[in-house]
Amino acid sequence: MSKPEILMTAPMMPVVIEALDKAFTLHRLWEQADRASFLSEVGPRIRGVATSTLFGRMDANLFEPLPNLEIVSSFGVGYDNVDVTEAAKRGVIVTNTPDVLNDEVADLTLGLLLATLRKIPQADRYLRDGKWLKASFPLSATLRTRKVGIVGLGRIGKAIARRLEGFDVSIAYHGRTRQEDVSYTYYPTLIGMAEACDVLIVITPGGAGTRHLINADVLKALGPNGVLINVARGSVVDEQALIEALKSGTILSAGLDVYDDEPRVPQELIDMEHVVLLPHIASGSVHTRNAMGQLVADNLIAWFEGKGPLTPVTETPYTKT
């Protein structure tokens, strides 16, 4: 029996390529010189797609030449790179890679929070520049006595909260719904939480529903001692409003892992000494990226073995027929 044909939209990790090459006939879209004629010839045979949040968006126009597509397996827990409305309309299942990255992303978030407050990268640069030989590094802000508000207390938000418990700080959260199984303070409005807190950690999904959730009003409410940590998606924060707030002292500082137009980062942020900027690395260890890659492959393998998808997204639920 011939193997199912799978399309990979952009290069992925060896763990994914090796597993898919073994189980399927794998086509590499990025290697095709004439993409249109490749898709018109091979497209009708494609039954699965492997794609990634970093490269290779799965927009509506890529569904068109794949009339027999059954499943899109996306690398990353966030799936704002896949047009799930189009997938649902066509009866295509979309899967993501939840849970296997919770601890890694939460660890990095705490690191970014401490790095931002205690100016760890700035202190490292200070030493390397030979400035310590002339004077001690200036005293920094602190995590002590702070109240931390988590915007999006989901799988990763909860892992962040558990770590924060060990740091003896007050923990609050905002989301569209109160969660009965947690003891953290719930704020039904984001402005209300920003007013009450002096750290906001953003860890919601991206996409239209959360676009510019963190705007000029929220930053004003956070206040001049306030720190914003964004490990969600660049689109969740109004980047221009953030730049203004950082320039004017409306908030104290920010630690960012994600940006509106990645990998391009506004020069105004790069020029600021009081922000910490990371290149979207929250899940970026070999251990965790391998686990995510394995789940991309396992979703496709399970589907074509007739076992159903392992981690379908809510917009394309799987019901066994």
Which segments of 100-142 does DSSP mark as H helices, in order? 102-118, 120-128
DSSP letter at 237?
A: B
Site membership for ligand 8YV, residue 242 (CB under 6 A): no
Give the pair of three-digit tokens for residue 72: 């899109």
- Closer residue to ligand 8YV (CB): 97 or 316: 97
What does the alpha-carbon distance between residue 229 and residue 109 come to, in Å, rounded to a whole number? 8
State the Cα angle at 208 between 203 and 213, rounded to 5°: 50
Give the pair of three-digit tokens for residue 208: 């239209």
* Residue 54 binds which entry of ligand 8YV, ligand NAP, none, CB below 5-8 Å type-dependent: ligand 8YV
Among the residue ranges 72-80, 111-119, 244-252, 308-316, the one whose residues contact ligand 8YV (CB under 6 A): 72-80
Give the pair of three-digit tokens for residue 59: 């927009």
Which burial class, exposed, middle or buried, applies to 169 when counting CB atoms under 10 A from its CB (0-12, 13-18, 19+)?
Answer: middle
Largest Cα–Cα separation, the chain: 74
* Residue 209 binds which entry of ligand 8YV, ligand NAP, none, CB below 5-8 Å type-dependent: ligand NAP
Site membership for ligand 8YV, residue 57 (CB under 6 A): no
* Residue 246 binds which entry of ligand 8YV, ligand NAP, none, CB below 5-8 Å type-dependent: none
- Closer residue to ligand 8YV (CB): 73 or 283: 283
Residue with smallest beta-carbon separation from ligand NAP: 154
Site membership for ligand 8YV, residue 78 (CB under 6 A): yes
Catalytic (active site) residue 287: no
Which burial class, exposed, middle or buried, applies to 288 when counting CB atoms under 10 A from its CB (0-12, 13-18, 19+)?
Answer: buried
Q: Are 44 and 63 in contact (CB under 8 A)?
A: no
What does the alpha-carbon distance between residue 280 and residue 231 come to, in Å, rounded to a whole number? 8
Catalytic (active site) residue 28: no
Site membership for ligand NAP, residue 312 (CB under 6 A): no
The site map against ligand NAP for 114-153 (x = CB under 6 A) is: -------------------------------------xxx
State the Cα angle at 194 between 191 and 198, rounded to 5°: 170
Minimum distance from residue 89 beta carbon to ligand 8YV (Å)? 23
What does the alpha-carbon distance between residue 70 and residue 88 come to, in Å, rounded to a whole number? 11
Minimum distance from residue 284 beta carbon to ligand NAP (Å)? 7
Tell me the number of residues near ligand 8YV by CB under 6 A.
10
- Near ligand NAP by CB under 6 A: residue from 73, 81, 283, 316: 283
CA dihedral 73, 76, 80, 81 (to 10 degrees): -60
Residue with smallest beta-carbon separation from ligand 8YV: 76
Catalytic (active site) residue 233: yes
Minimum distance from residue 175 beta carbon to ligand 8YV (Å)? 17
- Closer residue to ligand NAP (CB): 26 or 148: 148
* Sheet of strand 185-186, all strands in order from the earlier edge strand to the far edge: 185-186, 170-174, 147-151, 199-202, 227-230, 253-256, 275-277
* Residue 205 binds which entry of ligand 8YV, ligand NAP, none, CB below 5-8 Å type-dependent: ligand NAP
Just list the catalytic residues: 233, 262, 280
- Residues lying near ligand NAP in the complex (CB under 6 A) are found at 77-78, 98, 101, 105, 151-157, 174-177, 203-206, 209-210, 213, 231-233, 257-258, 280, 282-283
